């Protein structure tokens, strides 16, 4: 069985809370300071990474934490974007009001979409969520209040008192702020009682039910709380692009977000962020290719995807629990030194 | 009445393509619980394989009797793409057989992308014309128009599906496949060569998709690298509608979806037809969570 | 403790260093070489619209090659910076930013209006003139940016023309079919609006097909039962050719007409014999403009493909930009924009080009085409 050794020792700089804090602080400082020296292309790249990181973290709740295969996540992205676009252009409402509204509406949508899937087996709900994603996109294309295929253009810039967001750098900081909020909340959710309940129903739904967990409520919460972050990301997209239309919310978009989550490592927050970086940056790396070889950019991405999944199916930066799960079926490890080291770590109480 | 009959014919024709491709999805899902996103692209590759064959035969094709050229344009792509399906399984999916469910799904997405881009590069993204190997006679009964191609498509599809059904139900190999679908480990312990049979499943699925691709190409007359994606998605929906993992279910789902879509476009609205199709799918799944003919798996604790 | 702090600092520095390392490497590759002038193109070079995107890029390249053969512009050679923009707005923004940071002095493209509008904001902020040869959404030039132009006509103009043709045929019942893309939907609604001004003409059918689905028999059967005098298909050529073919084989009554996106050789090959029954509204094809004969020959010889529906417009757009640079002797955005605003009757392969005050093309001459012996010919 192909697998990297599961016994990569945990790097020292991630073990103690203090070192983790220092690393986080330095990374944060870099994210704030470095962009001042970058040109707009890179700033836009970082902005897009932030947006897709938010999307990935949100889908991570549904797919990674709760184990529900959602193939139509772009629908929530669309809701946030259209709500912001419509209210800002028609009624001139403030962008800051759009954020809670977009998030709330996305959550409501999450419940509406989640409700029919409760009784379905895992792969059936994939097609239902796919269907809802398509229904959302087609509705946005057909209704005139959403602007039809043209979408909604001329979305005003967000303002904060006298200050208007205009340059890519300013938009970047807005995106970064939203992404950090998402990161914080999703991390807390993962470690909360709800997070544990999600893990429970992911692993064994029947057992969870037997233990008294209301699976209906918990699953709907997963959809709703997962959708919220896509709603926020959508609001941001609307002001970043100043014009939104249905082609930004296709099945391909949903697939892209799913790839981010699985590639990075299901249920792992640093993994998802890394996934977002890989998915956004890889096609951009080869932009210098001559135009008739442009499809090679995506071909390389496709091959990278295939190889990465074959050689590292747990993802680029999997949560430790997943890594252990992945290789726990490796019977050949029994009795080896690696298994002993693993057992030691567990006894030490290392974080799962 | 004429319109109704015409729509029935339209729906059955469309449904044939969905059904053939849905069969491949359902077989693969039944045996290893994988939604093979690359399957729709095998349909596309099959069409291109047929086109390559016809182009390389060139003038020779015109001189051959239809009784030779038609089977040839089916069999060669079917064999080639079937083989391709089996090779893809061996290289990309087999290493992930014990992995969590989502990893091979992402691999399948990668394979699908790779196939599309490969063909995109080879054809410079241009639409290719597919020569018609079927006679182009058209019959009109009143206002109802039916072409020779349509008359052939449905029976050929049904014949292929019947052959598959008999194979799975009546032969030893088929029985072994069904055993693997029920419980892979036990089947292996019973001495069934799981690896070979899974390869065979992919081979058959790919062959059926290729047959659909060739028929599609010759019927509509144009093919391009992008055509497998949309149809694959519809076929997957059809397979789920009928009950995924279930061969008669895929057949039923395919034709049902074809008719549904056609009637939605024909009587309600062209731009909303997919919404109706999905809403009906969701409705069906709400009432029967495992699809129309899906097996109701009783979970014993 | 000391070790962990040391390790943490090393790791963090590594992350920061990596970030800094990536930036200059790519920044280096993008500054234009001294002695060259860079022009930009963005459009779908991958994905389902790649055919049109590549076609337009070929046209832009051809224009530049012709200028370079004559010594370039302002004594410098011209290079084309082509970026992929596959009809996803967020990627279009990325592509536009790339072009701007690469130092282009003018941009042509894209294909999808969904790309054009967000990208135009970026070009406007950078003060770079932007001429589109394919985006027909009226909103593009209504944003109040004075540096956005188009060489292609707007949907409202073609719609008026189509309606007048139908009136000329004394058609009473009209069926309009689009595909829910910005272009097709725009043309369809504008035609409907124009038809409303003709009393006695009624739109009896207005619906959309799904692009790429190839099977239009369901909707055509419904159209057949409504018995229209004219059916107008406003979608793209890959669907249009098949639509017309199926229209004829199903025996739908009345005439069949298609919008200008079907002005390509693909239409004839896809529709086969049925193409002779179809009419197409559009601007004059380069093949029919005497001054443009050279363009068609050159394009076909160089790329072994016939020019598509938008290559003429894009070729003109690129030529106009280079012409502006030459005439003003400058690559400064504001200077070029001023010149472009005053452009009158520039001899393009799609006819004489004059820009209006909003950047649209003035008085584009539409005509009706049909097919005879596998070639487009004028029908009026």
For chain C, list the domains and their CATH numbers: 36-152+310-343 (3.40.50.2300), 155-287+367-378 (3.40.50.2300)
Question: Considering CB atoms only, which of A63, A120, A258 is closest to B285?
Answer: A120
The confidence score (pLDDT) of residue A273 equals 93
SS3 label, residue A163:
strand
The confidence score (pLDDT) of residue C21 equals 47
Question: Considering CB atoms only, which of C210, C224, C238 is closest to B127?
Answer: C238
Q: Residues of A numbered 312-331 whose beta carbons fall under 8 angstroms of chain C's beta carbons: which are they? A: none
pLDDT in tens, chain C (380 residues): 444 455 445 544 544 445 444 544 444 444 556 678 999 999 998 888 888 899 999 999 999 999 999 988 888 899 999 999 988 888 899 999 999 999 999 999 898 888 899 999 999 999 999 999 988 878 888 888 889 999 988 878 889 999 999 999 999 999 999 998 888 998 999 999 999 999 889 999 999 998 888 889 999 999 999 999 999 999 988 899 999 999 998 889 999 999 988 888 888 988 988 999 999 998 877 777 777 778 888 998 999 888 888 888 999 999 999 999 999 998 899 999 999 999 888 988 888 889 998 888 887 778 899 999 888 888 87
- Model confidence pLDDT, tens digit, residues B12-59: 999 999 999 999 999 998 888 888 999 999 999 999 999 999 888 877
| Contact residues for C24 (Cβ-Cβ < 8 A; gap 6+) | none
Mean pLDDT is lowest, of A87-91, A319-323, C287-291, C315-319, for A319-323
Q: Considering only residues A13 and C253, tell me which one the structure prediction assigns the higher pLDDT.
A: C253
Nearest CA in chain A to C144: A154
Q: From CA B148, how far away is CA B13, in angstroms rounded?
A: 12
SS3 label, residue A87:
helix
Q: Is B6 in the C-facing interface, judged by CB distances under 8 Å?
A: yes
Q: Do A34 and C19 touch (CB under 8 A)?
A: yes
Nearest CA in chain C to B123: C51
SS3 label, residue A334:
coil
Q: Are C243 and C209 in contact (CB under 8 A)?
A: yes
Q: Which residues of chain B have pLDDT under 50?
A: none
Q: Are B126 and C51 in contact (CB under 8 A)?
A: yes
The confidence score (pLDDT) of residue C78 equals 92
Angle at C239 between CA C233 and CA C242, to 5 degrees: 95
The confidence score (pLDDT) of residue C348 equals 86
| Domains of chain B, residue spans | 15-236
CA distance B35 to chain A (A): 8
Q: Do C182 and A244 touch (CB under 8 A)?
A: no
Residue of B26, B103, B126 best to disrupt the A interface, most CBs of A under 10 A: B103
Q: Is C27 in the A-facing interface, judged by CB distances under 8 Å?
A: yes
Q: Do C182 and A27 touch (CB under 8 A)?
A: no
The confidence score (pLDDT) of residue C113 equals 80
Average pLDDT over residues A204-223: 88
Question: Considering CB atoms only, which of B92, B124, B272 is closest to A310?
Answer: B92
- Model confidence pLDDT, tens digit, residues A266-317: 888 999 999 999 998 888 877 777 777 788 888 888 888 899 888 888 888 8
Q: Do C97 and A40 touch (CB under 8 A)?
A: yes
Q: From CA B127, how far away is CA B225, in angstroms rounded?
A: 8
| Contact residues for A24 (Cβ-Cβ < 8 A; gap 6+) | none
Contacts of B299 in chain A (CB under 8 A): 206
The confidence score (pLDDT) of residue C178 equals 94
CA distance A273 to chain C (A): 14
The confidence score (pLDDT) of residue B261 equals 92
- Is residue A339 pLDDT above 70, yes or no? no
CA distance B234 to chain C (A): 11
Q: How far is CA C55 from CA A79, B36, B45, B206, C145, in A?
A: 35, 33, 24, 34, 27
Q: Which pairs with CB-CB distance under 8 Å and at least 24 residues apart come from C282-285? A: C282/C158, C282/C309, C282/C366, C282/C367, C282/C369, C283/C152, C283/C153, C283/C312, C283/C350, C283/C351, C283/C364, C283/C365, C283/C366, C283/C367, C284/C350, C284/C351, C284/C365, C284/C367, C285/C312, C285/C369, C285/C376
Q: What is the band of A329 on the pLDDT scale with cuts at 50, 70, 90?
A: very low
CA distance A108 to chain B (A): 19
Q: How far is CA C317 from CA B257, C106, C108, C131, in A?
A: 46, 10, 7, 6
Q: Are C351 and C365 in contact (CB under 8 A)?
A: yes
Q: From CA A68, how far away is CA A126, in angstroms rounded?
A: 8
CA distance C249 to chain A (A): 29
Contacts of B286 in chain A (CB under 8 A): 116, 119
Chains that touch B (3 or more CB pairs under 8 A): A, C
Contacts of B100 in chain A (CB under 8 A): 266, 313-314, 322, 325-326
Q: Is C380 in the A-facing interface, judged by CB distances under 8 Å?
A: no
Chains that touch C (3 or more CB pairs under 8 A): A, B
For chain A, list the domains and their CATH numbers: 42-317 (1.10.3470), 319-352 (no CATH)
């Amino acid at each position: 069985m192909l697998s990297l050794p599961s016994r990569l020792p945990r790097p020292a700089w991630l073990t103690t809370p203090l070192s983790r804090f220092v690393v986080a602080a330095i990374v944060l400082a870099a994210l704030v300071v470095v962009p001042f020296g970058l040109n707009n292309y890179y700033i836009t790249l970082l902005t897009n990474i932030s947006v897709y990181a938010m999307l990935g973290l949100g889908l991570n709740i549904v797919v990674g934490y709760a184990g529900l295969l959602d193939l139509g996540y772009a629908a929530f992205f669309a809701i946030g974007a259209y709500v912001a676009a419509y209210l800002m252009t028609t009624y001139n409402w403030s962008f800051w009001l759009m954020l809670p509204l977009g998030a709330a509406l996305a959550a409501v949508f999450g419940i509406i979409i989640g409700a029919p899937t409760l009784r379905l087996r895992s792969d059936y709900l994939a097609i239902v969520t796919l269907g809802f994603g398509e229904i959302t996109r087609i509705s946005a294309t057909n209704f005139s209040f959403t602007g039809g295929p043209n979408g909604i253009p001329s979305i005003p810039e967000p303002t904060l008192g006298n200050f208007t967001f205009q340059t890519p750098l300013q938009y970047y900081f807005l995106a970064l702020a939203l992404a950090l909020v998402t990161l914080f909340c999703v991390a807390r959710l993962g470690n909360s009682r709800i997070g544990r309940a999600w893990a429970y129903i992911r692993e064994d739904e029947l057992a969870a039910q037997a233990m008294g967990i209301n699976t209906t409520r918990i699953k709907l919460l997963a959809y709703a709380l997962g959708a919220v972050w896509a709603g926020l990301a959508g609001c941001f997209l609307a002001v970043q692009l100043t014009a939104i239309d249905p082609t930004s919310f296709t099945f391909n978009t949903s697939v892209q977000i799913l790839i981010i989550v699985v590639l990075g490592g299901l249920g792992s927050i640093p993994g998802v962020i890394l996934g977002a970086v890989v998915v956004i940056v890889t096609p951009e790396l080869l932009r210098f290719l001559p135009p008739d070889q442009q499809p090679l950019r995506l071909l390389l991405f496709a091959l990278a995807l295939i190889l990465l999944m074959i050689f590292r199916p747990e993802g680029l930066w999997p949560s430790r629990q997943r890594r252990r799960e992945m290789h726990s079926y490796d019977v050949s490890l029994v009795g080896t030194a690696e298994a002993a080291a693993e057992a030691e770590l567990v006894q030490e109480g290392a974080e799962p | 009445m004429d319109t109704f009959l015409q729509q029935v014919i339209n729906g059955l024709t469309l449904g044939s393509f969905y059904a053939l491709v849905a069969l491949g999805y359902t077989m693969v899902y039944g045996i290893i619980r994988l939604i093979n996103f690359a399957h729709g692209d095998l349909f596309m590759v099959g069409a291109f394989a047929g086109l390559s064959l016809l182009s390389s035969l060139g003038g020779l094709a015109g001189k051959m009797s239809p009784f030779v050229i038609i089977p040839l344009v089916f069999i060669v792509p079917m064999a080639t793409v079937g083989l391709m399906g089996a090779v893809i399984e061996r290289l990309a999916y087999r290493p992930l057989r014990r992995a969590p469910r989502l990893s091979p799904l992402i691999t399948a997405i990668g394979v699908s992308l790779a196939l599309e881009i490969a063909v995109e590069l080879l054809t410079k993204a241009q639409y290719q014309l597919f020569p018609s190997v079927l006679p182009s006679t058209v019959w009109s009964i009143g206002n109802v128009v039916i072409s020779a191609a349509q008359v052939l498509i449905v029976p050929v599809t049904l014949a292929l599906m019947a052959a598959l059904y008999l194979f799975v139900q009546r032969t030893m190999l088929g029985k072994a496949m069904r055993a693997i679908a029920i419980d892979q480990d036990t089947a292996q312990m019973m001495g069934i060569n799981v690896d070979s049979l899974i390869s065979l499943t992919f081979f058959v699925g790919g062959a059926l998709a290729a047959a659909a691709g060739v028929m599609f190409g010759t019927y509509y007359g144009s093919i391009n690298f992008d055509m497998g994606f949309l149809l694959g998605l519809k076929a997957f929906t059809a397979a789920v509608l009928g009950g995924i993992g279930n061969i008669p279910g895929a057949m039923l789902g395919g034709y049902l979806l074809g008719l549904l879509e056609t009637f939605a476009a024909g009587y309600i609205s062209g731009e909303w037809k997919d919404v109706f199709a999905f809403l009906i799918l969701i409705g069906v799944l709400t009432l029967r969570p495992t699809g129309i003919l899906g097996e109701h798996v009783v979970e014993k604790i | 403790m000391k070790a962990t702090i040391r390790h943490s600092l090393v790791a963090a520095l590594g992350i920061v260093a990596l970030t800094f390392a990536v930036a200059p490497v790519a920044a280096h590759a993008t500054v234009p070489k001294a002695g060259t002038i860079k022009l930009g193109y963005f459009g779908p070079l991958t994905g389902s619209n790649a055919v049109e995107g590549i076609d337009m890029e070929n046209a832009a390249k051809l224009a530049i090659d012709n200028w370079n053969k004559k010594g370039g512009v302002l004594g410098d050679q011209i290079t084309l910076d082509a970026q992929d923009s596959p009809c996803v707005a967020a990627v279009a923004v990325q592509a536009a930013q790339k072009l701007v940071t690469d130092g282009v002095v003018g941009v042509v493209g894209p294909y999808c209006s969904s790309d054009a509008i967000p990208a135009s904001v970026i070009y406007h902020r950078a003060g770079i003139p932007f001429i589109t040869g394919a985006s027909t959404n009226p909103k593009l030039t209504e944003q109040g940016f004075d540096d956005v132009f188009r060489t292609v006509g707007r949907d409202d103009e073609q719609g008026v023309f189509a309606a007048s043709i139908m009136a000329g045929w004394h058609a009473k019942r009209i069926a309009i079919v689009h595909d829910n893309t910005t272009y097709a939907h725009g043309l369809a609604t504008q035609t409907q609006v124009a038809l409303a001004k003709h009393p006695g003409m009624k739109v009896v059918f207005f619906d959309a097909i799904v692009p790429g689905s190839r099977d239009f028999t369901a909707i055509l059967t419904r159209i057949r039962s409504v018995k229209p005098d004219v059916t107008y298909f406003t979608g793209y050529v890959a669907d249009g050719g098949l639509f017309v073919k199926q229209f004829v084989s199903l025996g739908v009554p009345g005439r069949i007409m298609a919008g200008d996106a079907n002005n390509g050789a693909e239409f004839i090959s896809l529709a086969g014999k049925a193409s002779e029954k179809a009419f197409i509204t559009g601007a004059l094809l380069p093949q029919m403009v005497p001054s443009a004969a050279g363009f068609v020959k050159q394009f076909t010889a160089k790329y072994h493909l016939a020019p598509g529906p938008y290559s003429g417009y894009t070729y003109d757009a690129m030529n106009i930009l280079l012409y502006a640079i030459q005439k003003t002797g400058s690559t400064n955005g504001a200077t070029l924009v001023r010149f472009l605003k005053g452009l009158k009757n520039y001899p393009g392969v799609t006819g004489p080009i004059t820009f209006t005050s909003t950047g649209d093309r003035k008085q584009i001459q539409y005509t009706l085409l049909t097919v005879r012996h596998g070639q487009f010919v004028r029908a009026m």
